[in-house]
Structure 1
């Protein structure tokens, strides 16, 4: 297909593809929360239940689910900002970082989370993206990555307190292992610059 003037349309600019990817991801979270609301919260059962066989599915689904709209609203702005900054380095690389954070964060919660709890929420991703953006400059040794890391530290560094225990309804372990996943992603991917590669009793929000 050719555009006006007989010229084939070029690839989407990176700033635009980054925005589309991040907004699309957040839109999926809102759609799932709407479906969950209509179903009376039944999707919440797909969260991580530590050290149970059924709870293993939560590693896959938990970051997509939230315990009510306020829980999702709290994660939305960090997801949009950090996700966009991350995706500016390439949607493929952002997907690779997210996959590493997703698996390490979820597995950590499943192994070490409190018995009899359910954990869900996208903040495991938020903390993974945050730490990745902070740490990648250490491994890439690229000045732009270092500058971005410093700016992110100034803007969102206070979030790092979330890796410490606070409210019993907040999964600090999800934050901690999400952060571990982000550091692992920075270490694994930073060495290859060409790679593009609602809170209730018994329920814990990330």
Structure 2
């Protein structure tokens, strides 16, 4: 398997699959065995509530809650691991812990559950990192994220009852901070010959087709052959008796 093929499969298949399966398996266990894991969510400013920093992203209150988080989690995880492969795992793990701790510090006294905080973390990081990187591919990715998930910005404010807007806000802030402090390998922008500093017009074969007035001139086969052929001479010292 080539490096590019491995990178593609790791991004588009493996990472999102693990993320989605983990939240669905936990929900299936809850339904199958008739248990409720909400007590493992983040409960702000209680020491016992700190366990939710690790467990809350896997717990969901309903099938609708789970479904609403599944597709964004899969799409944004794929984006992260494909375009920011060198830093993806670090951003995901550290970002999840940091956003969970921030939720624990600022949220209302209630159990906060769900992967939406991670989703806001990923969306925020991908958007701001693309803008900061100033690479056309990554900027385009930022615009795609805004186009698809831009409306999520409203839910970092308390505009609707029953949602953890504090978790959303914590994920958004954490993603923004990580975008500034995380180093990534930005793809090098390919330059044409005429964009390079050592470019010499007199040596450009294409420009030789034009005269001083900009008129196109046909080059004979003999001239074209002379331009493309290089003759190199190698001299050997003769041995003296």
Output the TM-score relative to the length of structure 1.
0.83
Distance 2:84 2:8 in 1: 9
Question: For residue 141 of structure 2, what is the aligned residue in structure 1?
Answer: 148
**Aligned to 1:159, which of 149, 152, 176?**
152
Structure 1 position 24, deviation (Å) = 1.6
List gaps (5 residues or longer) in structure 2. Answer: 187-241
Distance 2:176 2:111 in 1: 25
User: Cα RMSD between the aligned structures?
Assistant: 1.7
Question: For residue 184 of structure 2, what is the aligned residue in structure 1?
Answer: 193
Map of 1:19-168 to 2, 5 A cutoff? 19=12, 20-115=14-109, 117-168=110-161
Distance 1:71 1:99 in 2: 22
Structure 1 position 82, deviation (Å) = 1.3
- Quick check: 1:100–1:182 contact (8 Å CA) kept in 2? no
Higher relative contact order (CA closer than 8 Å, sequence separation 6+): 1
Determine which structure has more spread, i.e. the larger CA radius of gyration.
Answer: 2
SS of corresponding position for 2:120: helix
- Quick check: 1:101–1:124 contact (8 Å CA) kept in 2? no
- Structure 1 segments, 4+ long, off by >4 Å, are 9-12
Q: Residue 92 and residue 27 in structure 1: after superposition, are their counterparts in 2 closer, same or farther (change >3 A)?
A: farther
Structure 1 position 139, deviation (Å) = 2.5
Structure 1 position 16, deviation (Å) = 1.1
Structure 1 position 63, deviation (Å) = 0.8
Distance 1:125 1:118 in 2: 16
- Quick check: 1:100–1:185 contact (8 Å CA) kept in 2? no
Output the TM-score relative to the length of structure 2.
0.72
